[in-house]
Amino acid sequence: MADVISPAKLAPNPLFLRDEELRQGIELLFYAYRDFTGEPDAILAKLGLGRAHHRAIYFVGRHAGITVSELLAILKITKQSLSRVLSQLVLEGYIHQRPGKRDRRQRLLELTEKGKELERQLTRTQRERIARAYREAGAEAVAGYRKVLLGLIDETERRKILARLDSAGKGAA
């Protein structure tokens, strides 16, 4: 204000632009996630289930035969929290447990037919949403979306996740 010629008016302040750009990146992520997770809740509510159940069902479906500790590592919650969700899903016949062959302490998890049916139903709306966004944005944009999201993930996790994305659906030990 006191300056005769404000430097900010001569050249657009790069720090300001940067901050603005970054905040938009934050907010887009917030809004997208907000709307993305909103949809399946109605289906779940009717069954007396919540988002936590959706996440468990999704990843068990994605990695048939996953162990409890692997699932914990993906969800990053405590075993007590997972246990509540998981035991309910087993009780109600969505998920089946069997002891590991190599290591009989493990409980390998997989969806029952009922579980698979629910998984399909829950994921359908989200798949459609992503599909539409991909289609409208184009292949190049999709590559950018993937690249940036991957960069947002904790560095120590990135390798693991890339491996998981690749090996998914092939079943585990």
Partner DNA sequence: AAATTACGTCAGCCATGTTGACATATTCCG
Partner DNA sequence: CGGAATATGTCAACATGGCTGACGTAATTT
Instruction: Name the site residues for a copy of itself (rule: CB under 8 A).
Output: 18-36, 38, 55, 58, 62, 76, 123, 126-127, 129-134, 136-138, 140-154, 157, 161, 164-165, 168-169
In the complex, minimum distance from the CB of residue 99 to a copy of itself, in angstroms, rounded to a whole number:
28
Which entry of a copy of itself, DNA, none binds 169, CB below 5 to 8 A by partner kind?
a copy of itself
In sequence order, what are the residues at sequence separation of 6 or more whose Cβ sits closer than 8 angstroms to the Cβ of residue 51? Answer: 37, 40, 41, 44
Vertex 166, ends 163 and 170: CA angle to 5°?
Answer: 110
3-state SS, residue 107: strand
Helix, strand, coil shares of the chain as percentages rounded to 5?
70, 5, 25
Which entry of a copy of itself, DNA, none binds 68, CB below 5 to 8 A by partner kind?
DNA
Residues that bind DNA (CB under 7 A): 48-53, 55, 67-69, 76-87, 97, 100, 102-107
In the complex, minimum distance from the CB of residue 33 to a copy of itself, in angstroms, rounded to a whole number:
5
Cβ atoms of 49 and 58 within 8 Å: the answer is no
Which entry of a copy of itself, DNA, none binds 19, CB below 5 to 8 A by partner kind?
a copy of itself
In the complex, minimum distance from the CB of residue 61 to a copy of itself, in angstroms, rounded to a whole number:
10
Vertex 126, ends 71 and 128: CA angle to 5°?
Answer: 140
In the complex, minimum distance from the CB of residue 95 to a copy of itself, in angstroms, rounded to a whole number:
19
Which entry of DNA, a copy of itself, none binds 11, CB below 5 to 8 A by partner kind?
none
Buried-exposed string 122-159: b where 16+ CB fall within 10 A, e elsewhere: bbeeeeeeeeeeeeeeeeeeeeeeeeeeeeeeeeeeee
Which entry of a copy of itself, DNA, none binds 103, CB below 5 to 8 A by partner kind?
DNA
In the complex, minimum distance from the CB of residue 128 to DNA, in angstroms, rounded to a whole number:
22
